[in-house]
Structure 1
Amino acid sequence: MSAADQKSLRHNRDFSRFWFGETVSLFGVQVTNLALPLTAVLVLQVSPEELGLLRSFAFLPFLFLALPFGVLVDRKPKRPLMITANLLRAGLVALVPIMAAAGLLSVPALAAIVLAIGVCTVLFEVCWLSYVPVIVDQEHLVAANGRVSASSSAAEFAGPGLGGLLVQVLTAPYALVVNAGSYLASVLSLWAIRVPEEVRPSAKRHIGKEIAEGIGFIVGQPYLRVLAVAGAAFNFCYMFVEALFVIYAVRDLGFGPGLIGLIVALSAVGGVLGASLAAGLVRRYRFGRVYAAAVLVGYGGPLLIPLVAGPPWLTVIVVTAGFFFMRAGLAVSNVAGTSLRQAVTPRELLGRMTAGMRTLMWGIGTTGAIVGGVVGGWLGLRAGLWVAAVGFLVAALPILLSRIPRLGEMPSLASPEPAARPAD
């Protein structure tokens, strides 16, 4: 039975298979995010500069490969591409403990593996965001994206603890075996999906023209244009904060590693809560109002991070609240925004739209860490965080001043503008 025939997302077996596999692999990714750096530090004794370079290799493919992968995803069936990407990721992750056991692991080899994993991650990310509308009706897109987002936030909450336990028991390189297994679980889940996927004829076309078509669609579509600008600005400010917060927490606030980890974990709870509530909020209230409220909460939360520098207990509460509200609001706005993007994009452009949005958002966003370091060194850490907090508010303006807050319900391709109805 196709996704169009499903009466409820709860009874959509194909989505349930996809969601299960994605959830397992998301937890595995969190294990890798801890085990790979620890492998570099404990086994290879890397310098801070080398560790930073390894980190950047994981994100470089998003800047250079998302757009051509978007063309590929629009030309080919997405499920086989996702299966291939996760099979490759499983093999690449498994190479690390094998090479470590054989005494062959080196910094260049680990860098090459991280870069290759990043390439596969880009392909999978572009695919799954374009594949959900294949297996889920538009009326269930918000709920489907909410479930995946909740899984991601839950993995961010519990994953580091699980990763730390596995690293403690198995040692850093061998904890990566768990992630290899998580990718294989995702492969098996994807293999079991039965929804047929329609793909446009593979006519010979120029890849540059197809990329330009995808970017042109984003620029010309009023909702996507606003989401791209606001998303890029948010990611810039988010990376800005990431570059300063840990140093600020340790040097200015006197927080220990355990307390910083607790703050991060509690903020992830906000993400789980927001993602879980998103679908219900959109069903009960006007789509535009929910989106605007989520933006105000998520983009306004960072104002609390540099607000208090008083008693330690009060500082911990206020800083935690800042991150909690940011993640909760971001989860709701991400679920709603992703669903809106999928709803207004023709099926044959989904891959290129997703790739273009990723490139625009992260291409600008990744520079935030560099700027944050410079501003923090120039003005001071707390002042730098105030600059970022104001930046978040500026980033919210394109959405708040657009037509999106006036939407009564999520628009569609068949009726792109009917959702703008008078206020209740």
Structure 2
Amino acid sequence: MTVSNHSKTLFRVSRDSLFFHADFRRLWAGDTASQLGMFVGITAVPLLAAVTLAATPFEMGLLTMAETLGFLLLGLPAGVWVDRLARRPVMLTADVVRAVLMLSIPVAWWAGVLTMGQLLVVVLLTGFATVFFDVAYQAYLPALVGRERLLEGNAKLQAVQSTAQIAGPSAAGVLVQVIGAASTVFATGLGYLTSALCLWRIRTVETVPERTGHERLLPQIIEGLRFVFADKPLRAIVACTATANLFGAAAQAVQVLFLTRTAGLPPAAVGVLLAVGGIGGILAALCSGAIIRRIGQARSIWLVPLLVWPGNLLVPLAGPGWRLALAGFGLAAAGFGVILYNVAQVSYRQAITPDRLLGRMNASVRFVVWGAMPLGGLLGGALGETVGLTGALWIAVIGELCGALWVVCSPLRRMRDLPVTEKDTLAPA
């Protein structure tokens, strides 16, 4: 009888999993398609620019800047608009727009009219649509699964991202060699279309925020910013992420050029190397809940970056043979740390924020942390032109690691766990 009761308990717990949440499965499937297509594009588009269109380091910097410039230009008002609208239609529209834009690249290539200018415009406008998708996406999850299951939901979505980070670049590297970079980008457009179809099939009725008729844009933007920067742990998290993203974008701007021109790797090897970081990410996503509960949410945010982000220091050592494996190990370690850090800090942000501020909170955070990336892209391109690809990559990975100092030197270091109750009033700065 005891065994039978225990089995029933295990079954009951398993049925509580988001695996059995039909609409979360649809969101999850759409995210899988979108992430896989996106990571194919993240590898194929720079290879298209570097190998096929013979881009300079500065042009690669502009390309990196274009990917995230939307967060700097539209991030804050996007949060206000998302808080005024149902979030799922915003995500659907963004997916369709991104699909059409990305599919224009292979069409232009097949017609023989593709230029670096079109590539920059497509990446820029796709980034604008991504602003609205990402702000709505993170605001939509708490309403879909409930705040009590945010850790599980974020862990599963991060697992998808990490898996796509392995499969996408690996597939892209092979496809680029077989069918060409422009044709490979076709998979990115298909991924966004599949994501839109899955979102369209979600049946959960979403509550549309009430409008008072007297809402002004600027005061609402300020309210979102004040909420983010009045919370000391959140302030440190934002500073850490922004610094890491600034230098991470600088590394991204020169990384493909370094790997193909300095390290002498073929496109397939570049794809494999860029995918390896996802292995660590998958491991982190699978065990993130257990690790965070074991060492505490606050410690997960400051201790993990301190211990494993230094793996990025091995990337500038990449080259043929054993040096490729060394760089891959470093990327896997860093990928583990990034995903574990993200699960902990994103879940904290979502848990403490009232529903009416979720869009603005996400937009305010992304305005800072993603807004740093176009500046980082320009920085990486400029460094590549002045100190060379190897020197630029060393500066970038060291700067990325220094971002952890914000959380290490913050009140988080004296805490084990973070409060996860909703805060509807502003804490003192």
- 1 CA distance for matches of 2:247 and 2:147? 31
Q: 2:130 aligns to what? A: 121
1:148 has 2:157 as partner: yes
- More deviation, 159-168/101-110: 101-110
Which shows bigger deviation, 322-331 or 45-54? 45-54
Equivalent position amino acid for 1:337 in 2? Q
- 1:245, distance to aligned residue in structure 2 (A): 5.0
2:405 aligns with: 397
1:327-342 matched pairs, under 5 angstroms: 327-342=335-350
**Cα separation, partners in 2 of 1:365 and 1:97, compared to 1, 3 Å:** closer
Q: Name the CA distance, whole Å, in 2 between partners of 1:39 and 1:381.
A: 18
Aligned to 1:263: 273
Q: Which moved more, 1:401-410 or 1:15-24?
A: 401-410
How far 1:156 sits from its partner (Å)?
1.7
2:293 match: 283
Quick one: distance in 1 between partners of 2:296 and 2:346?
A: 17
Closer/same/farther in 2, CA of residues 168 and 272 from structure 1, 3 Å limit: same
1:180 corresponds to 2:189: yes
SS at match of 1:198: coil
Contact 1:274–1:331, Cα closer than 8 Å, also in 2: yes
Aligned twin of 1:324: 332
1:149 shift after superposition: 1.5
Partner of 2:427: none
Structure 1 gaps, min length 5: 1-5, 417-424
* 1:320-365 Cα deviation digits (max 9, x unpaired): 3322221111110011111111111111111111111111112234
Does structure 2 conserve the Cα–Cα contact (< 8 Å) formed by 1:235 and 1:366?
no
Counterpart of 2:151, as a letter, is V
Question: Per chain length, whose mean CA-contact separation is higher, i.e. which structure has more relative contact order (CA < 8 Å, sep 6+)?
Answer: 2
Sequence identity of aligned pairs in percent? 35
Structure 2 CA distance for aligned equivalents of residues 359 and 298 of structure 1: 26
| Contact 1:346-1:413 within 8 A present in 2 as well | no
Aligned CA distance change for structure 1 residues 367 and 175 (closer, same or farther; 3 Å)? closer
- In the aligned structure 2, how far is the partner of 1:317 from the partner of 1:165? 18
* Maintained 8 Å contact 1:74/1:199: no
Distance 1:284 1:388, change over 3 A: same
Give, as a single letter, the amino acid of the residue that structure 2 aligns with 1:213. E
Cα distance, 1:291–1:224 mapped onto 2, change above 3 Å: closer
- Per-residue CA distance 1:274-327 (angstroms, 9 max, x = gap): 222212222344222333332223333234456x79x98664444333222211
* CA distance, structure 2, for counterparts of residue 413 and residue 121 of structure 1: 29
Unaligned runs of 5+ in 2: 1-14, 425-429
RMSD of the TM alignment (CA)?
Answer: 3.3
1:73 aligns with 2:72: no
CA distance in 2, matches of 1:242, 1:71: 30
How many equivalent residue pairs? 408
Cα distance, 1:242 vs structure 2: 3.5
Alpha-carbon offset, residue 252 of structure 1: 6.9
Does residue 223 in structure 1 map to residue 238 in structure 2?
Answer: no
Would the aligned equivalents of 2:62 and 2:381 in 1 still touch at CA under 8 Å? Answer: no
1:140-161 C-alpha deviation (Å, 9 max, x unpaired): 2122112211211211211123
In structure 2, the residue matched to 1:83 is 92
CA-to-aligned-CA distance 1:66-119 (integer Å, 9 cap, x gap): 111111111101001111111222222333344445556555444433332221
Distance 1:86 1:380 in 2: 37
Distance 1:304 1:82, change over 3 A: same
Aligned twin of 1:206: 216
